[in-house]
Amino acid sequence: MSTEQNHQEPDPQDPGSEDAAELRPDEAAQPDAQSATTEVEQLTVDLANAKDQVLRTHAEMQNLRRRMERDVENAHKYALEKFVGELLPVVDNLERSIQAMADVGDEFKAVSDGIELTLKSFQDVLDRFKVATVNPGGEVFNPDLHQAMSMLEVPDAKPNTVIDVFQKGYTLNGRLIRPAMVVVAKSVANNTSET
């Protein structure tokens, strides 16, 4: 017997044939190509999601950094706010003392001068630390800086104008610490009656 007779070609239709898959490469490759395409699409979506997440995280970190820088800046700017608020009554009392000494006369001139110098040095320190006085006499009433204690009809004054200041206000770096307590002019009511 020849060797050609013993070697038989495998039948591609025979399911028991070992080489059946090798004979149909187009059928076997299609499921692999589809799954590879699906896997590539899924990986592309995952990559896009990961990039988006990284960008969002980066933006959040930048916002957090800016917020922290602003908070630190505000902490430095306004750290003295409570302390200054506690010292303002001392300034008020020094100013009242000077006014009281003016009414007494020249007997206490040395004491009055000493109080004025003390007040001046106190105000210089406040100026150095960016504490500004709000003394709105004659200005238009501003509810952001002034607190109206009463309103009076004053024929000579424009309505909504500060005509008297009970207590000065103060700001620290532009932020209000204490509003100025004021008296505001209101328009004079017409008391004319028809006869």
The pLDDT of residue 12 is: 52
How many other C-beta atoms lie within 10 A of the C-beta of residue 38? 10
User: What's residue 22's pLDDT?
Assistant: 52
Closest by CA to 129, choosing from 163, 95, 87, 98, is 87
Domain shared by 145 and 175, yes or no: yes
SS3 87: helix
CA 170 from centroid of its chain's CA atoms: 22
Q: Is residue 194 part of a domain?
A: no
Q: Half-sphere exposure (CA, 13 Å, Cβ side) for 21? A: 4
Pairwise CA distance, residues 129 & 88, whole Å: 14
Which of 79, 97, 114 is at the close of a domain?
A: 79
- Whether 8 is covered by a domain: the verdict is no
Q: How many domains does the chain have?
A: 3
Sheet holding 169-172, edge to edge: 131-134, 169-172, 175-178
- Residue 72 parent element (H or E): helix 25-78
Q: Which residue has the tokens 């009392």?
A: 93
- Domain identity same for 124 and 166: no
Domain around 64:
25-79
pTM, entire model: 0.62
Task: Tell me which residues of the chain have a pLDDT lower than 70.
Answer: 1-31, 190-195
pLDDT attached to residue 179: 94
pLDDT recorded at residue 77: 84
Give me the pLDDT at residue 56, please. 95
Q: Is residue 13 part of a domain?
A: no
Residue 4 is assigned to a structural domain of this protein: no
Q: Is the Cβ–Cβ distance between 108 and 101 less than 8 Å?
A: yes
User: Is position 145 within any domain?
Assistant: yes
Distances (CA, A) of 175 to 48, 70, 77, 169, 178: 46, 15, 10, 11, 9
